[in-house]
Amino acid sequence: MLKNIQKEKCLVVGLGNIGMNFDFVLDNTDFVLTHCAAIKQHDDFILSGGVDPSSACRSDFQKKYMSPAFSNIDDALNSFNPTVGVICNPTDDHYSVLLRLLESPDLKVILCEKPLSYDFNEAQEMVKICAKKGVGLYVNYMRRADPNVIEIKRRIDCGEILGPIKISAWYSKGILNNGSHLIDLVSYWLGEYISHNVLGYKGAWNGIDPEPDVFIQFQRGNVVLMSAWEEFYTHLTVEVISPSGRLYYSNGGENIAFTQVKKDSLFDGYKVLIGEPEVFENYFLRYQFHVYEQLSAALKKQESYLCDGFDALRTLGILEKICGEL
């Protein structure tokens, strides 16, 4: 007789792009880009409800996912007690939503969109409150859940990708929106932050989110983080240079290739980056499903590579230091 497996009851607060819309009309066999699609596909979770003030979003959610939608969290929590709370609404409201979710007596974990808060002290309080209540807190820097990103870290840790490491990285749409993804990614690979130096500052995306060029020193290497122009095109690319070769992480992580060092066949005594690169399998189009794979592992007390609240605070602390100089 098969054992009855209890699924985690998920409440998604915010049914916008990352909550529901990015893959709403796509085939979720190939694309899992949102929380709703990932929860629906994963065997360990059930999409018990969604919250959004927009009646159109609630209607779309109910039609596609056949689950109840609520205009506010109070109505949702009066209907059921989630074990997993997912925060996808605007950053300014993260703190108040987190407090409300913590009123669910069955709550085990909260998965929050980045950043936790625009205010470092408020973010610290969010981490502290969750720790006090014994509720896990994770932030959706989803690249950490990508099997390729995990494999790259393994190679760095074991010396297959040798140090010292130098990285050049491009971001667009502001350092808080997209630049923070890269800061979290490279700190995951390179270890503790040591120092930084602002190289230039051209203004803020949308008049809100700063777009500086920054040099950052980490435990295992250095990074030059440069801003591009979201108004022309989105750009998120990382080039990793090491004595072992060159890793190119492009198009936000959709394309990854590693080229090894080889002896130059023409010039004696020289080494070059040549030959067919190792092309990594593309997992990026299902990135949010991998997040829930890692969340499931965390809930089972297994090893998980998600960005937890304390990791998110470290990233937010770096951002606060940089933005405080602009």
pLDDT digits (tens, 9 = 90+) for 172-211: 999 998 999 999 999 999 999 999 999 999 899 989 899 9
- The parent domain of residue 16 ranges over 8-142+289-313
113 and 156 in a single domain? The answer is: no
176 and 190 in a single domain? The answer is: yes
Whether pLDDT at 156 is above 80: yes
Chain length of the chain = 326
pLDDT one-digit tens code per residue, 119-147: 999 999 999 999 999 999 999 999 999 99
151 and 138 in a single domain? The answer is: no
Q: For residue 102, tell me if it sits in a domain.
A: yes
Out of 8-12, 133-137, 265-269, 320-324, which region has the weakest mean confidence (pLDDT)?
265-269
Pairing of strands 109-112, 84-87: parallel
172 and 237 in a single domain? The answer is: yes
Query: What's the angle, vertex CA 308, arms to CA 302 and CA 314, rounded to 5?
Result: 140
**Per-residue b/e over 94-126, b at no fewer than 16 CB within 10 Å?**
bbebbebbbebeebbbbbbbbbbbbbbeebbbb
Q: Rg of the Cα trace of the chain?
A: 21
How much is the pLDDT for 264? 85
Residue 276 near residue 110 (C-beta atoms within 8 A): no
CATH no. for residue 167?
3.30.360.10
Q: For residue 325, tell me if it sits in a domain.
A: no
Q: In total, how many domains does the chain have?
A: 2
- Residue bearing tokens 């949102």: 34
Query: What's the pLDDT band for 1 if we cut at 50, 70, 90?
Result: very low
212 and 301 in a single domain? The answer is: no
Q: For residue 105, tell me if it sits in a domain.
A: yes
160 and 235 in a single domain? The answer is: yes
278 and 294 in a single domain? The answer is: no
297 and 175 in a single domain? The answer is: no
Q: For residue 3, tell me if it sits in a domain.
A: no
C-alpha to C-alpha distance for 54 and 51, rounded to whole angstroms = 9
158 and 274 in a single domain? The answer is: yes
How much is the pLDDT for 2? 43
